[in-house]
């Protein structure tokens, strides 16, 4: 009967049309513009702290070179290095320097890289905006709150200091793959990776913000840019009397939690893939404006010239 | 004479379909090939189940080589990625139990109520209108439910309106919304079961002077009981396996949840959150993912088997 | 259209064909029972309406063309869901191509050719029913393990997501197709065989064409379920900042549910509004798909 076949034909035609439409849509957007435009993927992975900076760079870069696909994943600094040293990513974002074991693994897999300092960061300790008793904390108090020995023991703010009110502690922070985690534990607890296990970890700093903002007794830690982004929900504390700002981070007075942020570029990706070269060049050359747009602490003048040298050594 | 009967005429064909092929005329090799393809296609389903078992079992074997069974099943500290690692899965299982329980507390009354109304009380036009509306509840993506749980139920209802002492995430918000999500599951299967009860029973009950409530409660529900139980068990299975609502709204701290206003991490929430990080194939973190996945699969397998047995019983009863 | 009032009094008066009516319906316990039943329906529907209203209200600030044309950005004022929309389209299309033929073939075998009394085939049936109820995240783990075994490095590719989703909805398609095949009366098959057709010819030329509306309905409903899934894709590493259109089955991608999840997790209110607006978009898409499925069923379904 013709009606049956016409129905089948109609369905097949619809599917085929949809498929054709998709392949048309899947093409590059808004044309190539001026003749010799680049295209191709640039993959980056790593720190959740550095990710907003990389995303801002990718954003701005797209207006310059529309055909290049930049992806930014956030598996944490450690996770990013694992994929980087396996040759799966072009750029690794890191909120701490590469460890010896990680560098050895890269070397074992033949991955040569160049380390570029791309911005500065103050690792901020944050509390809920309604918290008015803990606005100034010392490193010793932070250690009391976060040390491994405090697991299950220190559960209330008044245990940290008797003058604090009776409010339960709610701890949030970066997860174990995070460079922020390594840096914080190293600086506050004296040993990288040493921390009490009964806090809410996440590789995504946005979750930490939500957690601290939701609990009156909340306390967490992440990069300074997240503080500025969420100033209405949480606030940073002074550490040993110093409040984290662009100035105190750049001149080194915000210690021990001031730190540089890195991108690690795979040398072969840079030399072999023109789209990677274009992106990295853009990122480094415009590091200052990108950092300001993303609410990061920009590089000091000496850092800028060092970065330019590193970039030159790559090409 | 041959035993193939269809060429003879008369009441020869059996009531069910013939199961052997009648090769009349020239052999058709193309059809033979097609039938092999069909068989292979059906075999893909077996391959999927075997694949799931193998995919979950191999890393789990690696996991259990490092972590003893007893510690995994009965330990109460879940800290798999820390320097001082512990692999006790009890916190994850208790959080799952909490969300499932809360979901059932919502879904069973609402689902059964809706089912009873649709099966026993509603006029046909009302039924036609209400059933699809209930199905819409089943069609909302779980991400959207998760967003609703976090933004509205937790922030607005629990914290602003009811002023409950709770933080940014809670097991209660996730459980309540999950309950609403599985209402259609319980409602539709229960309603099928109740509709399958023969009208003769209802008429007999009415003839004896019962009103509809009495008929429903004392005749229809007991008759449809295995179907209703199957529906509830299936609802449990869906609640245990649900990921997005808990990943968004229940929090991600693996701890022993003692009160529903606290946050907690379920088995599915752990798998989702751990997958957001990075795990090298072969590392203990990668294996942990699959060990929890295996536990989840086995639990839902058990629940599904129980449910299927109940469904069979109620389908066969009439 | 009768009024709600007549529906209520009808419930009490017992205009339902079976039983009811009479003084017994007006006893207090029976009335309270009826009220409770109405209440449970109203609560369920009320929550649904609240959900829809909340997301529309929250997302209204972001309903603009930007949602369709822009890429995700670090600031909510410039962000859009374009890669998510295209990514969903790519993944669903690939899933459909992979799973619908396979599902129909498997169902045809199970329903038309397999010996139903054979224990192996009954085991396969049981297996399919069980697979339909496995949590979706387990399918993600399966795809993860499979791709790792093949040595695929970057698993966040369209074909990877499509693989996980195909396996997820395959049992649903098989079950729906079997129902559609069952609804074709056996007289059709017998007539065809009587005229000398082989079994395959019968299936291909008589049974399948008659079952097409049911199969189409079931497939569209299964695909709409796949459209809303996020958990299996998360396990494959889908949560990545994607600022380009997908351009092949080996391309990186993101989907609408993943994008919603991403934006929900951000603390800024602007991103929550974007998540709400995208949720509305997703719901509209699902309503359209389900409406299409129901339309096909009602319009083309044969009454035997």
Residue B12 to residues A253, B5, C111, C190, Cα–Cα distance (Å): 98, 6, 22, 11
Q: What percent of chain C has pLDDT over 70?
A: 92
Whether residues C268 and A22 touch (CB distance < 8 A) is answered with no
CB environment B171-200: b (16+ within 10 A), e (fewer): bbbbbbbbbbbbbbbbbbbbbbbbbebeee
Which chain B residues have a beta carbon less than 8 Å from that of A197?
77, 79, 82, 84, 86
Predicted pLDDT of residue A25: 45
Task: Considering only the beta carbons, identify the residue of B81, B251, B276 that sits closest to A176.
Answer: B81
Domain map of chain B by residue range?
2-66, 79-317
Whether residues B278 and A75 touch (CB distance < 8 A) is answered with yes
* β-strands A68-73, A40-46 pairing: parallel
Which chain A residues have a beta carbon less than 8 Å from that of B79?
197
Residue-wise DSSP of B33-73:
HHHHHHHHHHHHHHHHHHHHHHHHHHHHHHHHHHS-HHHHH
The gap from C-alpha B317 to its chain's centroid, in whole angstroms, comes to 24
pTM: 0.84
Residue-wise DSSP of B242-274:
--HHHHHHT-S------STTS----HHHHHHHH
Q: What is the pLDDT of residues C104-118, one digit of tens each?
A: 999 999 988 887 778
Q: What is the pLDDT of residues B109-121, one digit of tens each?
A: 999 999 999 988 8
Instruction: Report the range out of A5-14, C11-20, C229-238 with the highest average pLDDT.
Output: C229-238
Examine the pLDDT at C250 and tell me if it is beyond 90.
no
Q: What is the pLDDT of residues C201-210, one digit of tens each?
A: 899 998 998 8
Q: Helix B284-317 and helix C119-131: axis angle, to 10°?
A: 120
Other Cβ atoms within 10 Å of A95 Cβ, number: 30
B79 pairs with which residues across the strands? B86
Task: Considering only the beta carbons, identify the residue of A79, A177, A200 that sits closest to B252.
Answer: A200
Predicted pLDDT of residue C20: 53
Predicted pLDDT of residue A26: 42
Extract the runs of DSSP E, i.e. beta strands, from chain C: 240-242
Encoding tokens for residue C236? 């494959």
Spatial CA neighbour of C125 closest among C82, C171, C189, C89? C171
Q: Could you say which DSSP state residue A29 is in?
A: T
C residues 85-144 closer than 8 Å to B (CB): 102-103, 105-106, 108-110, 112-115, 124, 126-131, 133-142, 144
User: What is the Cα–Cα distance from A279 to A91, expressed in whole angstroms?
Assistant: 10
A149 neighbors A194 (Cβ within 8 angstroms): no
Q: Helix C82-108 and helix C256-264: axis angle, to 10°?
A: 130
Mean pLDDT of B15-37: 70
Q: Could you say which DSSP state residue B20 is in?
A: S
Examine the pLDDT at C301 and tell me if it is beyond 80.
no
Encoding tokens for residue A183? 């840096």
Q: Where are the alpha helices (DSSP H) in A117-251?
A: 139-146, 157-160, 179-189, 205-214, 224-229, 246-250
The 3-state DSSP class for residue B186 equals helix
Whether residues A197 and B168 touch (CB distance < 8 A) is answered with no
A residues 71-130 closer than 8 Å to C (CB): 71-74, 86, 88
Q: What is the pLDDT of residues C149-164, one digit of tens each?
A: 888 777 788 999 999 9
User: What is the Cα–Cα distance from A276 to B135, expressed in whole angstroms?
Assistant: 49
User: What is the Cα–Cα distance from A22 to A139, expressed in whole angstroms?
Assistant: 57
Q: A56 touching C, CB under 8 A?
A: yes
Q: What is the pLDDT of residues B151-170, one digit of tens each?
A: 899 888 888 888 888 888 99
Which chain A residues have a beta carbon less than 8 Å from that of B273?
202
Encoding tokens for residue C263? 């934006």
User: What is the Cα–Cα distance from C15 to B124, expressed in whole angstroms?
Assistant: 10
Examine the pLDDT at C261 and tell me if it is beyond 70.
yes
Q: Which CATH superfamily is domain C71-300 in?
A: MetI-like (1.10.3720.10)
Encoding tokens for residue C12? 């009490």
Predicted pLDDT of residue A198: 85
Identify the segments of chain A with pLDDT beneath 50.
1-3, 6, 9, 16, 19-35
Fold of the B79-317 domain:
MetI-like fold (1.10.3720)
């Amino acid at each position: 009967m013709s009606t049956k076949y016409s129905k089948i034909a109609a369905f097949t035609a619809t599917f085929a049309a949809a498929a054709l439409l998709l392949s048309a849509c899947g093409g590059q957007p808004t044309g190539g513009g001026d003749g010799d435009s680049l295209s191709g993927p640039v993959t980056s992975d790593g720190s959740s702290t550095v990710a907003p900076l990389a995303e801002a760079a990718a954003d701005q870069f797209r207006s310059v070179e529309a055909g290049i696909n930049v992806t930014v994943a956030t598996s944490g600094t450690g996770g990013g290095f694992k994929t980087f040293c396996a040759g799966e990513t072009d750029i690794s974002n890191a909120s701490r320097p590469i460890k010896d074991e990680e560098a050895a693994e890269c070397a074992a897999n033949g991955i040569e890289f160049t380390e570029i300092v791309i911005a500065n960061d103050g690792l901020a300790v944050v509390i809920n905006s309604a918290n008015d008793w803990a606005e100034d904390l010392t490193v010793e108090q932070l250690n009391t709150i976060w040390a491994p020995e405090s697991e299950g023991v220190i559960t209330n703010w008044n245990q940290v200091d008797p003058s604090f009110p009776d409010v339960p502690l709610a701890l949030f922070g970066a997860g174990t793959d995070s460079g922020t985690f390594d840096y914080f534990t190293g600086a506050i607890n004296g040993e990288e990776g040493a921390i009490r296990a009964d806090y809410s970890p996440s590789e995504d700093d946005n979750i930490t913000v939500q957690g601290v903002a939701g609990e009156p007794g909340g306390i967490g830690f992440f990069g300074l840019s997240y503080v500025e982004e969420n100033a209405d929900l949480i606030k940073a504390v002074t550490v040993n009397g110093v409040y984290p700002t662009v100035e105190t981070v750049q001149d080194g007075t915000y210690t021990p939690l001031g730190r540089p942020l890195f991108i690690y570029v795979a040398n072969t990706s840079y030399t072999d893939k023109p789209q990677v070269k274009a992106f990295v060049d853009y990122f480094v050359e415009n590091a200052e404006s990108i950092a300001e747009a993303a609410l990061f602490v920009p590089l000091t003048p000496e850092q800028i010239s060092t970065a330019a040298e590193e970039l030159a050594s790559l090409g | 004479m041959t035993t193939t009967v269809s060429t003879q005429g008369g009441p020869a064909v059996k009531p069910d379909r013939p199961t052997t092929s009648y090769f009349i005329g020239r052999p058709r090799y193309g059809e033979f090939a097609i039938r092999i393809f069909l068989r292979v296609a059906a075999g893909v389903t077996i391959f999927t189940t075997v694949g799931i078992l193998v995919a979950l079992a191999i890393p789990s074997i690696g996991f259990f080589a490092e972590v003893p069974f007893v510690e995994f099943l009965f330990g109460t500290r879940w800290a798999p990625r820390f320097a001082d690692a512990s692999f006790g899965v009890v916190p994850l299982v208790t959080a799952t139990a909490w969300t499932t329980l809360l979901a059932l507390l919502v879904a069973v009354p609402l689902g059964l109520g809706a089912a009873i109304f649709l099966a026993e009380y509603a006029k046909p036009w009302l039924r036609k209108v209400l059933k699809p509306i209930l199905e819409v509840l089943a069609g909302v993506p779980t991400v959207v439910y998760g967003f609703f749980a976090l933004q509205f139920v937790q922030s607005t209802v629990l914290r602003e309106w009811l002023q409950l002492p709770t933080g940014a995430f809670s097991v209660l918000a996730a459980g309540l919304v999950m309950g609403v999500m599985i209402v259609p599951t319980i409602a539709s299967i229960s309603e099928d079961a109740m509709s399958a009860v023969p009208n003769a029973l209802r008429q007999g009950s009415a003839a004896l002077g019962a009103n509809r409530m009495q008929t429903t409660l004392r005749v229809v529900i007991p008759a449809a009981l295995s179907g209703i139980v199957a529906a509830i068990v299936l609802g449990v299975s869906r609640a245990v396996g649900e990921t997005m609502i808990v990943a968004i709204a229940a929090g991600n701290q693996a701890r022993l949840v003692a009160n529903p206003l606290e946050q907690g991490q379920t088995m599915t929430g752990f798998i989702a959150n751990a997958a957001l990080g990075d795990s090298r194939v072969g590392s203990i973190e990668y294996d942990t993912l699959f060990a929890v996945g295996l536990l989840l699969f086995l639990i839902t397998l058990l629940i599904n088997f129980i449910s299927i047995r109940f469904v069979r019983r109620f389908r066969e009863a009439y | 259209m009768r009024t709600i009032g007549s529906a209520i009094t009808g419930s009490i008066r017992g205009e339902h064909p079976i039983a009811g009516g009479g003084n017994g319906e007006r006893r207090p316990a029976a009335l309270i029972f009826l009220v409770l039943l109405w209440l449970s329906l109203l609560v369920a529907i009320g929550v649904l309406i609240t959900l829809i209203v909340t997301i529309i209200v929250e997302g209204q600030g972001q309903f603009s063309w930007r949602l369709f044309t822009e890429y995700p950005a670090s600031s909510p004022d410039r962000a859009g869901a374009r890669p998510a929309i295209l990514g969903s389209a790519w993944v669903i299309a690939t899933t459909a191509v992979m799973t619908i033929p396979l599902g129909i073939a498997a169902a045809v075998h199970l329903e038309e050719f397999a010996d139903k009394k054979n224990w192996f085939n009954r085991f396969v049936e049981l297996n399919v029913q069980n697979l339909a109820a496995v949590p979706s995240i387990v399918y993600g783990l399966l795809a993860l393990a499979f791709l790792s075994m093949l040595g695929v490095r970057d698993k966040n590719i369209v074909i990877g997501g499509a693989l996980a989703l195909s396996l997820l909805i395959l049992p649903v398609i098989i079950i729906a197709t079997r129902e559609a095949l069952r609804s074709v009366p056996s007289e059709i098959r017998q007539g065809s065989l009587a005229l000398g057709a082989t079994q395959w010819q019968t299936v291909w030329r008589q049974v399948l064409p008659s079952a097409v509306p049911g199969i189409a309905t079931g497939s569209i409903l299964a695909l709409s379920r796949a459209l809303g899934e996020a958990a299996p894709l998360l396990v494959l590493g889908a949560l990545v900042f994607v600022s380009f259109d997908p351009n092949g089955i080996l391309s990186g991608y993101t989907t609408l549910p993943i994008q919603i999840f991403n934006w929900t997790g951000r603390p800024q209110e602007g991103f929550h509004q974007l998540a709400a607006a995208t949720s509305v978009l997703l719901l509209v898409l699902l309503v359209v798909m389900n409406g299409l499925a129901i339309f096909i069923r009602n319009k083309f379904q044969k009454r035997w």
